[in-house]
Amino acid sequence: MDVELRDLSKTYDGSTWAVRELTLKIPSGSIFGLIGPNGAGKSTTLRMLATVVAPSGGELLFDGAPLPKDPSEVRRQIGFLGDGNPLYKQMSPAEYLRFFGQCYRLPAAELEAAIEDTLATFDLAGKRDTPSGQLSKGMRQRLLIARCLIHKPRLLLLDEPADGLDPRSRSDLRAILLKAKERGVTILVSSHILRELDDLCDSMAIIQRGRLVVAGPVDAIIQGYDVSRFVYRLRLLDEPGENGHEGPGVRRALEVLRERRALVESTGVEDGQPTITIQVQGDEALMADILAALVAAGVRVVTASRLRSRLEDVYNRLSDDRVN
């Protein structure tokens, strides 16, 4: 489903704008990320797209057609997960999916088949009849997203779907979204965890105080903002230093990093091992050279992981330049 927002605006009290003149085009079958800090207007935008909140101004186009007066037909093609969406704790996953499937007026036979299929897809078949209140947080979140897909929507709107999930559940979520994308579903997902969206989204928009800051394909934005600074964390294997000072390995590593013009942000300890957080002004080849130099100097590097994504750097850059 093609979605277009034209000068979409919303005010709740008539004086302050939650969303102001937002213009976006979300191509059919893409995963679109909506990024912004708390209070930026992400949830309001998604609610307007889900047709549960009426815009104060502007226009919404679904497949090029404006929203009809009775939006119930459009709603049948939308799956919406709002923020703070609690489950009915006494209902089992099967009952919950059946309830929402009926709310979308799915025929009985089709609904029962969809329930079984969705439970299997979301790895909830084993918990089919367990009350939702007894499910883990990850399972509950999976169930909530499953509810949004039970009626096979063409547009999926997810407001902070990864909020509070552990890494395993986040990974599952990514897999689910990619699977939905394969089926041709257009996905609009909002998040403030940018690493989640970095290599998941095809396009994205950054909004701040209800206004659009930038929008477009992720790669184009990253290139457009010339992000060449990366942050890495190195974990070393080292002897403990005397009187609480750094050990010999860390001291050697800091020397090498200084020579290689890597900016040391901080040092610390993780899982009993010393860590060094550095900023590298350059591409990944430069980081590979630094690592080789460290190893050549006898530093025992256990892991080197990138802390912030390129998208986060874009966001930070924008915050520095425009948002603030």
Partner 1 sequence: MSKLAQLRSAALPFVTRAHRGGRLRRFVLMSVLLGVLTLILGAWISFGNGPFEAEIRRGFDLEESRWMREQQEFIVVVDSREELAQANAQVASLPYDHSDMGWNRPKAAYDDAVQFVTQATWTDAPRGGYAMRDRAANLLASHGLSTTRPDPDTYYTYFSWHDAENVARLQAILAADLRPQIELYESPLTVVEGIRVTGAIAGGIFTLLLLVIAPLLVGTQMAQEVHENTLMPLTGTALRTRELILGMAAGALSIVGILAAPQALILLATVAATGYLLPALAGILVAVVGCFFLSTLAQLLGYALGSQRTPGVLGMGLLAFFGFFGMVGAAFGLAPHRQTIGILALLPEAATTHLFRSSLLPHELFFSNWRLAHEADFAIAVGTVGLGLLGILGMRALERRVGRTGDSALTRPEALLGAFVTTVLVILANPARHAYAPVEASFLLTLAILSVPFAIFLMMRAPFTQHGAERKPMPVVGLLGELALWAGLHGVVTLIVIGRPELLAAVHPMVFAYLGWYLLVLGLLALRVVARPMGIGARVWVAFSALFAMFAFPQMAAWMRPWANHGLSDALLFLQVSPFLGFVQAILLVLIPWSLWRSLRRAA
Could you say which of 2, 6, 27, 56 contacts partner 1 (CB under 8 A)? 56
98 is a site residue for partner 1 (CB under 8 A): yes
Taking the least distance from each CB to partner 1, the nearer of 150 and 276 is 150
Nearer to partner 1 (CB atom), residue 102 or residue 228: 102
Binding part of the chain for partner 1, among 27-35, 91-99, 184-192, 228-236 by CB under 8 A, reads 91-99
Phi then psi for 107, rounded to 5 degrees?
-60, 150
Contact 305, 241 (CB under 8 A): no
3-state helix, strand, coil in the chain (%, to 5): 40, 30, 30
The CA distance from 235 to 143, in Å, is 37
Segment near partner 1 (CB under 8 A), from 10-18, 112-120, 174-182, 241-249? 10-18
- Looking at 65, 103, 120, 237, which residue binds partner 1 (CB under 8 A)? 103
Number of helical H runs and strand E runs in the chain: 11, 14
CB 242 within 8 A of CB 256: no
Quick one: tokens of 270? 């993780």
CA-CA distances (angstroms) from residue 181 to 49, 184, 282? 18, 5, 33
Element spanning 22, H or E: strand 17-26
Task: Examine residue 23 and tell whether it contacts partner 1 (CB under 8 A).
Answer: no
Using CA atoms, how far apart are residues 48 and 166, in angstroms rounded to an integer? 29
Q: Which stretch binds partner 1 (CB under 8 A): 22-30, 102-110, 226-234, 250-258?
A: 102-110
- The maximal CA–CA distance of the chain, rounded, in angstroms, is 75
Among 73, 182, 242, 320, binds partner 1 (CB under 8 A): 73
Interacting span for partner 1 (CB under 8 A) from 30-38, 44-52, 162-170, 219-227? 44-52
Q: N- to C-terminal Cα distance for the chain?
A: 35
Nearer to partner 1, 71 or 217 (CB): 71
SS3 283: coil
Q: Which of 52, 120, 175, 220 binds partner 1 (CB under 8 A)?
A: 52
Q: Is residue 85 close enough to count as binding partner 1 by CB under 8 A?
A: yes
User: Which of 37, 82, 138, 241 contacts partner 1 by CB under 8 A?
Assistant: 82
> Least distance (Å) from partner 1 to the CB of residue 291?
48
Which CB sits closer to partner 1, 14 or 244? 14
Task: Give the number of other Cβ atoms within 10 Å of residue 81's Cβ.
Answer: 21
Query: 52 with 46: CB under 8 angstroms?
Result: no
Q: Which residue has the tokens 């999930």?
A: 165
Please report, as residue ranges, which positions from 144 to 173 form the binding site for partner 1 (by CB under 8 A): 147, 151
Among 4, 24, 35, 80, binds partner 1 (CB under 8 A): 80
Query: Between residues 155 and 278, which has the closer beta carbon with respect to partner 1?
Result: 155
Residue numbers at the binding site for partner 1 (CB under 8 A) = 9, 11-15, 50-54, 56-57, 70, 72-73, 75-76, 78, 80-82, 84-88, 91, 95, 98-100, 102-105, 147, 151
